[in-house]
């Protein structure tokens, strides 16, 4: 008679197939639970094949449910297990999943992983894994803000999938996303509209294909994306018309998909001037995203809520939402950095363990070499994590570090938030390379005009921040006005004939509020007022 354990192991392939079917039918949470149970069973019984298969399925489910950190662990495990078994095709698939998951948290290793996956897939000649690796490479490049490089990989994946007779909807989804990102970088309204029009066509094709396959996850994703892309070209009517189709998709929506849907629904209503109706889905989005810690959508949702309250004349709630936006933005950057650090540490720990186990006789030399390598890498990571590559200024992480120091010393300070006026028009009229040159020049002017102990950082986009330690508000306002005048008086024609640039500044002092995040929000609100009241000015009081 078979034991219960033997029955479980005999049933494992069927249960694994069912888990994969659930994932394809828009039930990734259910698929994840089944695959995790199989994974634990494989660990208990030292079944390496089941361990690899279940880790693959778990990594795929983690992509669908945005569980990036556990997904990375499962993908690394699957890749190592397939490599140990000499199964190059499955190793390539695990590497493709790993590349996607790494790119989702901004890990630069993702591109090398995607390239390795593509090389291995092409060596095996397996068309499914070549398509997967091409798509992963495109996703990585697009997430790293290089859509022009991403699109050829996506287009090749689409061509190959059609030639092989099994077009896959997620490849079309990612091609459309890359086209949208490339279009949004264009200074030409016509080019943007044409690119987004192509993306909408491709996404509708993906929607039809997902429905034919019963893939509810991609179906909901496509519906949300069609609405979002339509908003990019000012077509709120199409967005409103497509959104109800979300509820009719197969399977169950993931929390991330539900959050995205609520956000897009709120933005659609706001775009139609229905701010009072927009608040309900936006606030629901905020509640769910807050409960789940989903900062990627929560951060812009706070801003949309602030804009909706402002449109209704409720400026007190608008300011509160605007402050929440800044707090969420800071937290998002901090958590992403912490997540990368944890994954990096786990990876290094595993590598060190394997080296110690297999090369015990060379332990001393290996440890010395590893320590030197880690020291160099730590130095490089510290430098790059605190520096803005475009301007050479410190970035907002460096500002966070400075805030921590001030929290310890209780020293007074003044914070100025600085924004380049009409910067989008500079990009649209003179090109993005000229826009980059403007940012570099303003960075140089700010750094040259600041005191030795002041900290000038690039806060993000066209926004800078100036932290003035041991300063009072009156002195800081005079200093900021000198900086404003130096930017206005600069001969911008040396960069491009007809070019002009000015800055607006909002200033707040540490004695005006109780927390650093509140001071940031207050300075940013005053910057907003400076831009509302004419730009090219300094405002230090509400």
CA distance 510 to 469: 10
Q: Which two tokens stand for residue 295?
A: 């900062």
Virtual torsion, Cα 343, 348, 351, 352, nearest 10 deg: -140
- In this structure, how many other beta carbons lie within 10 angstroms of the beta carbon of residue 448? 10
Contact 446, 456 (CB under 8 A): yes
454 φ/ψ angles, rounded to the nearest 5 degrees: -75, 155
* Catalytic-role residue among 53, 107, 294, 462: 462
Instruction: Give the gyration radius of the chain's Cα atoms.
Output: 26
Q: Which two tokens stand for residue 211?
A: 């429905």
> The tokens 């094949």 sit on which residue?
49
Burial of 212 (0-12, 13-18, 19+ CB in 10 A): exposed
* Burial profile 28-44: b = 16 or more Cβ within 10 angstroms, e = fewer: bbbbbebbbebbebbee
CA distance 450 to 441: 14
All residues at 6 or more sequence positions from 421 whose CB lies less than 8 Å from its CB, including other chains? 501, 502, 503, 504, 531, 535, 536
151-to-16, 181, 218, 262 alpha-carbon distances in Å:
34, 10, 20, 29
116-to-96, 123, 158, 386, 509 alpha-carbon distances in Å:
9, 11, 20, 29, 51
CA distance 117 to 478: 56
3-class DSSP state of 456 = strand
Residue 122 is among the residues annotated as catalytic for this protein: no
Virtual torsion, Cα 527, 531, 535, 540, nearest 10 deg: -30
Catalytic annotation, residues? 462
């Amino acid at each position: 008679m078979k034991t219960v354990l033997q029955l479980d192991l005999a049933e494992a392939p069927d249960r694994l197939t069912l888990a994969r079917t659930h994932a394809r039918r828009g039930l990734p949470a259910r698929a994840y639970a089944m695959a995790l149970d199989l994974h634990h069973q494989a660990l208990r019984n030292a079944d390496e094949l089941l361990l690899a298969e279940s880790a693959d399925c778990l990594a795929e489910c983690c992509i669908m449910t945005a569980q990036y950190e556990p997904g990375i662990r499962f993908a690394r495990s699957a890749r190592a297990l397939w490599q140990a078994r000499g199964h190059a095709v499955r190793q390539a698939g695990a590497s493709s999943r790993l590349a996607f998951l790494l790119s989702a948290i901004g890990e630069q290793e993702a591109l090398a992983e995607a390239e390795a996956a593509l090389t291995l897939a092409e060596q095996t000649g397996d068309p499914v894994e070549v398509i997967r690796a091409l798509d992963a490479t495109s996703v990585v490049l697009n997430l790293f803000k290089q859509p022009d490089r991403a699109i050829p990989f996506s287009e090749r994946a689409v061509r190959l999938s059609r030639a092989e007779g099994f077009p896959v909807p997620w490849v079309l989804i990612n091609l459309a996303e890359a086209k949208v990102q490339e279009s949004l970088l264009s200074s030409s309204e016509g080019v943007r509209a044409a690119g987004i029009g192509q993306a909408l066509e491709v996404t509708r094709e993906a929607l039809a294909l997902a429905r034919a396959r019963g893939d509810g996850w991609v179906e909901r994703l496509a519906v949300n994306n069609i609405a979002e892309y339509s908003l990019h070209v000012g077509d709120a009517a199409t967005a409103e018309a497509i959104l109800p189709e979300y509820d009719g998709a197969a399977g169950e929506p993931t929390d991330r998909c539900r959050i995205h849907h609520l956000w897009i629904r709120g933005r659609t209503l706001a775009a139609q001037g229905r701010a009072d109706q927009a608040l309900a889905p936006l606030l629901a989005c905020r509640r769910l995203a807050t409960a789940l810690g989903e900062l990627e959508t929560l951060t812009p949702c706070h801003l949309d809520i602030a804009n909706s309250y402002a449109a209704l004349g409720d400026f007190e709630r608008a300011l509160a939402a605007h402050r929440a936006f800044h707090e969420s933005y800071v937290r998002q950057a901090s958590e992403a950095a912490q997540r990368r650090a944890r994954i990096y540490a786990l990876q290094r720990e595993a590598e060190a363990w394997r080296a110690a186990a297999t090369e015990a006789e060379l332990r001393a030399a290996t440890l010395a070499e590893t320590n030197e390598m880690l020291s160099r890498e730590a130095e490089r990571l510290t430098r790059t994590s605190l520096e803005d590559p475009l301007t050479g200024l410190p970035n907002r992480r460096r500002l966070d570090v400075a805030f921590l120091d001030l929290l310890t010393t209780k020293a007074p300070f003044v914070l100025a938030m600085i924004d380049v006026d009409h910067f989008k028009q500079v990009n649209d009229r003179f090109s993005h390379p000229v826009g980059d040159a403007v940012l570099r020049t303003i960075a140089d002017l700010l750094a040259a005009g600041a005191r030795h102990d002041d900290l000038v950082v690039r806060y993000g986009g066209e926004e800078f921040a100036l932290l003035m330690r041991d300063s009072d508000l009156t002195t800081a306002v005079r200093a900021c006005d000198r900086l404003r005048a130096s930017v206005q008086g600069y001969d911008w024609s040396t960069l491009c004939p007809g070019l002009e640039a000015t800055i607006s500044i909002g200033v707040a002092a540490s004695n005006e509020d109780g927390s650093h995040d509140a001071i940031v929000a207050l300075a940013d609100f005053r910057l907003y007022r400076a831009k509302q009241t004419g730009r090219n000015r300094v405002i230090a009081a509400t």
